[in-house]
Structures are given as C-alpha cells and as structure tokens.
Amino acid sequence: MFHPPFEAVEIPYEGTTLPGYFFRVDDSGKQRPTVITMTGMDGYQEETYFGVVAAALERGYNCLTYDGPGQGGVLRQREVPLRPGWEAVVIPVVDFAVGKPELDPDRMILIGRSFGGYLAPRAAAFEHRLAAVIADPGQFDEFDLAMARMPQEMREAIEQDDPKVDSFLEKMVQDDARRFFLAARMRAFGAKTLKELVLMQREYSLKGLAEKIKCPTLVCDNVGDAVAGGQGKELYEALRCPKDYVLFTSEEGAAGHCEGGGQVLFHSKVFDWLDKTLMEASPRAAVT
C-alpha cells in the first residue's frame, strides 16, 4: 500500500489554530502544484483522503487538508459553528500554505465537495492567489434551496415571519431520520431552533459574489443529487471568470451526491481539467 509522506499541521486562525495535514507526493523537496481541500458538513478532514487526496497525489499534486469552523473536530471538540464568509478561513489557510517550500505558490487549487461546493467558490471570490477552483456540486444560494423544499404557503409565511411557521417546522422533525438530519445541521450552523436554521441560510449566498471569482473554475453538477438541489448551473452562469461545467449522470455510474460510487470518474475528469488548466496558464509549469 502507498504511504505518502505527510505531517500533521496547525494552521493559525483568529488567535487559535485549525488542525490540518500536509501530504507530499514524495520527499524530493520539489515544488509542486498543491490542492487545498476540506470536508463539507457532517464529516472530518480525514475523509478527504479518499475523496480528493489519494487521487491528487497520484497525479503529482501535494495536498493540504483542514477542518474549519462547523467541521470535524473544530465543531465537535471546540463547538465552533460554520460561518458564511469562508474567505476568513481560506485566506489564513493560503497564508500558511505559501510558507511550505514544496508548494508552488502560483499553482494552488481549492477543491470543495458536498457543502464545500458553496464554501470553495465563496472563498475564491475574495482569495485571488488561487490558480483554480473546483466546486462539487456547485451551490449558489442556500436560502433559495431551502425555500424550494417548502410548500408555497410556508415560503410566504417564512418571509413574513408568521408564527405558524414554527408548528410547521416542528412537524418536520417527528420523523426520526429527519430529526437526526436537521439536528446535525442546527449544531453545525449554531442554530437554536429550526426557524433560526432556515433564516440563517440567507447569509449563505453567492449572489453578487460569484462574478468576483477571477481564477478558472470548474462547476460540477449531478442529475441525481438530492442534497444540493441542482444549483450548479446557476453558479456556472453567474461566473465571469474562465469556467467549465460538467454534469455527472446515472448512465456513467456516477449518480448521487458527490458522484456516489463514481469516484474514479470524478477524479479523472477533475484532474484532467486541472492539468489542462494549469498547462494553459503556464506551459512551463506542467504537472509532473
């Protein structure tokens, strides 16, 4: 089994640190393009090894992973919830990354999967040292997504702060599976009630921000993704940077959230795109 060289790191962040790992392709000390990635929601950064890191190392990319607010141990051990302005997290992560001698500062890539499909492009709207961004699946506005799952009557009631919303939302958690799902999200967002959780989604939006992303961006989407709600095309159309869009399908064996069982296909398309994008940006800086 391949055991890549890696080290546990502590990334300075607002008077404390974020736990991370820095994975290297080898011990040569050679500067290489580096993927920065994190989990989305419900997970830990260690899961990103299978979702991103192993494939990246095979293709010649170093990797820096971390848990941010609302993720992994930062949520479960420190009780620090998510924040909508993910640039406040990624900017210090990039500051840390450029201090690694094995990292090529001109070839830093940010990959966000699951809820990271919102977090990564949000950060890229402000952090312009990135050479490329991948969002899988691309997400555009979490409040719009939440409203799309509500009956029309409830949408209007939420907008008007009608008290009947509370009883409607309480009925949603009578089912054990749904109660578990929503309770986990309340904790991640730091919400005390379901209504507060719904209203918090207003802050998680790329409206007016997507057009600020400058680096090449790959937006992934999936015909069978019931979690992200198919907002990838919305994000893609709002971008003004060099961009590409890929739709994964059941015919490819890649239906479902984050391509389910189609990880090899996801990795192939993403790293083929990255190799091509970095080569076009700097022909002398091919990935090796």
What tokens does 145 get? 């997504």
The band of 182, judged by pLDDT with boundaries at 50, 70 and 90, is confident
**Domain boundaries defined on the chain:** 6-141+206-283, 147-199
**Cβ atoms < 10 Å from Cβ of 72:** 23
Pairing of strands 62-66, 32-38: parallel
Q: Say what percent of the chain tops pLDDT 90.
A: 72
DSSP letter for each residue of 121-174: HHHHTT-TT-SEEEEET---BHHHHHHHTS-HHHHHHHHTT-THHHHHHHHHTS
pLDDT digits (tens, 9 = 90+) for 255-280: 888 998 899 999 999 999 999 999 98
Q: How many Cα atoms sit within 13 Å of 114 on the Cβ side? A: 15
Task: Provide the Cα torsion 206, 177, 48, 220; round to 10°.
Answer: -40
Round to whole Å and give the CA distance between 188 and 236. Answer: 27
Is it the case that residue 16 has pLDDT exceeding 90?
yes
224 exposure class (CB count in 10 Å sphere: 0-12, 13-18, 19+): middle
The mean pLDDT value of the chain amounts to 91
pLDDT confidence of residue 221? 94
pLDDT of residue 284: 46
Residue 2's pLDDT band, with cuts at 50, 70 and 90, is low
pLDDT score for 198: 87
CA pair distance 38, 15, nearest whole angstrom: 20
**Which residues are CB-contacts of 182 (< 8 A; sequence separation ≥ 6)?**
172, 173, 194, 197
In this prediction, residues 99-125 reach a mean pLDDT of 97
Convert the pLDDT of each residue in 23-64 to its tens digit.
Answer: 999 999 999 999 999 999 888 999 999 999 999 999 999 999
172 contacts 182 by C-beta, under 8 angstroms: yes
Angle at 25 between CA 23 and CA 31, to 5 degrees: 95
CATH assignment of 6-141+206-283, among 3.20.20.60, 3.30.530.20, 3.40.1350.10, 3.40.50.1820: 3.40.50.1820
Q: Are strands 16-23 and 62-66 parallel, antiparallel or unpaired?
A: antiparallel
CA atoms within 13 A on the CB side of 239: 28
Which pLDDT tens digit goes with each residue over 139-173? 999 999 888 877 777 777 777 777 777 777 777 76
Q: Binning pLDDT at 50, 70 and 90, where does residue 3 land?
A: confident
Q: How far apart are CA 134 and CA 260, in angstroms?
A: 17
First-to-last C-alpha distance (Å) of the chain: 21
**At CA 69, angle to CA 67 and CA 73, rounded to 5?**
50
How much is the pTM?
0.93
In this structure, are residues 263 and 47 in contact, taking their beta carbons and an 8 Å threshold?
no
